[in-house]
Amino acid sequence: MSQGILTSADSAALSIEEIGLREGEMSRTDLNADRAAHLSWADLLRVTVQNVGQTKLASFDKWDFIVHYYDGSGVYHTEWLPYTSGVLGDNEWQKVRIGLNGPVEFFEPDILNPGEELVILARLNPLPGDATTGKITIATPNGVYDSISFSNLGYTLLTPHSENTTIAGTRYFQLVEATLADGAAMTMTTDAFAEDEMARKILYKESDASRPARHIFPLTGISQIPAAAWTVYYRCRTWGNPDFPARNGDVNFDIDILIRKADGTVRTTIATNVADAYLDRGDTEKWLTKQANYNFPGYTVIDDSDYLEIVYYGETDGPGPKNGPGYLQIMIDDSTLPLADQTRIEG
């Protein structure tokens, strides 16, 4: 009897110790689901999760991935998706990349270290219906989880945001799919156009001239960007000179489109100085939303670790400002604006 009592006491002590260890591990584990979107160019879900705790995370086949969504017939689905390390099949998910604020992992491959991001792809069958939203929950083996919503708009929406991605030591702003502006407004500006200056100038963050208006969209999971009619919207204004533009057709905003490799070099330039949106003479020193069209020719992705990059410019096609310098500016990531007034690309 005495031996049994001692054995029971030892077992209870061990159980309490195990519970304490588990609770300690959970307290040091934390996840943030940062981004989730239904990729309009791939019919996949792409989710970005960051390890914001103090514990290394791995064993992804033991994680839980649960998705709630409506299909095209209005049927509601709640699905637990198994992990696969092979070819991604229907109703499966997989890890495709781990990186530290960028595309390349150098330290402890296949382990999600504190501060690193995990990029996940998932394939749903049936697909989410157009103009629907869903919810994803991701949980680690020790029970720590986070949830995030996603949208399937039924069309392509790319919105420039103020968050950063670092490629080969250079910071770029993010271009995000199926997500409206969600931050505090950021003004992008050109250098001053001198009186009678005719020029094209890249925009940059107004408070930091070292941050040009280069916005990148990861092509992870995408094999083809289809040919499509894009509409480019600019939330824009002139500034610094009430007579700028002096006449219609003198001032416009436009973009360059290119593909950037994960090592920071340019793979190819798709278009330069396209989607010209012009201001009229009366459009001086007030925020307006202008739009322009561009027929994107289509692009076959060579390496899905590449990025689509959109670069914003301001240009004077006429004699430039009169009676002193003027600036061209756009506004990005202003969550107070309705979608119709936000800087974005639709296709």
Q: 174 and 71 in one domain?
A: no
Q: What is the pTM of this model?
A: 0.90
Report the alpha-carbon angle 140-145-39, nearest 5: 95
Peptide bond into 82 cis (omega under 30): no
How much is the average pLDDT of 37-62?
96
Q: Percent of the chain, pLDDT > 70?
A: 90
Mean pLDDT of 190-197: 94
The pLDDT of residue 18 = 47
* 306 and 190 in a common domain: yes
* Residue 322 banded pLDDT, cuts 50, 70, 90: confident
**Under 8 Å between Cβ of 245 and 279:** yes
Q: 13 pLDDT band (50/70/90 cuts)?
A: very low
What residues make up the domain containing 122? 31-152
Confirm if 134 and 75 have CB atoms less than 8 A apart.
Answer: no
Tell me which of 134 and 17 has the higher pLDDT.
134
- The CATH number assigned to the domain holding 45 equals 2.60.40
Distance CA 265, CA 262 (A): 7
Q: What is the pLDDT of residue 254?
A: 98
* Domain assignment of residue 312, yes or no: yes
Whether residues 321 and 190 share a domain: the answer is: yes
Reported as a single tens digit per residue, the pLDDT across 151-174 is: 999 999 999 999 999 999 999 999
Give domain status of residue 1, yes or no: no
Residues 239 and 257 occupy one common structural domain: yes
Last residue in a domain, options 125, 152, 179: 152
Mean pLDDT of the chain: 91
In a shared domain, residues 161 and 142: no
Domain co-membership, 58 together with 165: no
For residue 39, the cross-strand partners are 44
Same structural domain, 70 and 120: yes
The answer to whether residue 196 is domain-embedded is yes
Q: Which of 152, 172, 205 is the last residue of a domain?
A: 152
| Whole-angstrom distance, CA of residue 33 vs CA of residue 24 | 22
Assigned domain for 310 exists: yes
Q: Is residue 18 part of a domain?
A: no
Give the residue from 134, 152, 170 where a domain finishes. 152
- Say whether pLDDT at 30 is over 50: yes
Both structure tokens of 4? 């049994």
Residues 302 and 193 in one domain: yes
Pick from 133, 134, 120, 187: nearest CA to 160: 187
pLDDT above 90: percentage of residues in the chain: 83
Task: Calculate ∠ Cα 341-128-234, nearest 5°.
Answer: 15
Judgement on whether residues 113 and 205 belong to the same structural domain of the protein: no
Q: How far apart are CA 259 and CA 219, in angstroms?
A: 9
Q: What is residue 19's predicted lDDT score, i.e. its pLDDT?
A: 46
In a shared domain, residues 100 and 64: yes
Verify cis geometry, omega within 30 degrees of 0, for the bond prior to 126.
Answer: yes
Give the residue from 256, 271, 275 showing the smallest Cα distance to 346: 275
H or E segment to which residue 284 belongs:
none
Q: Is residue 267 part of a domain?
A: yes
| In a domain? residue 190 | yes
115 lies in some domain: yes
Of the pLDDT bands very low, low, confident and very high (cuts 50, 70, 90), residue 319 is confident
Lowest mean pLDDT among 10-19, 22-31, 130-139: 10-19
Tally of domains in the chain: 2
279-318 pLDDT per residue, tens: 999 999 999 999 999 999 999 999 999 999 999 999 999 8
Looking at the structure, tell me whether residues 161 and 278 fall in a common domain.
yes
Tokens 């792409």 locate to 46
Are 185 and 65 in a shared domain?
no
Tell me the mean pLDDT in the region 38-47: 97
Q: Residue 215 pLDDT > 80, yes or no?
A: yes
User: Is pLDDT above 80 for 39?
Assistant: yes
pLDDT of residue 27: 57
Amino acid 32: pLDDT: 96
Q: Average pLDDT for residues 125-142, to the nearest whole number? A: 97
At 232, which CATH number? Answer: 2.60.120
Most confident of 17-21, 216-220, 246-250: 216-220
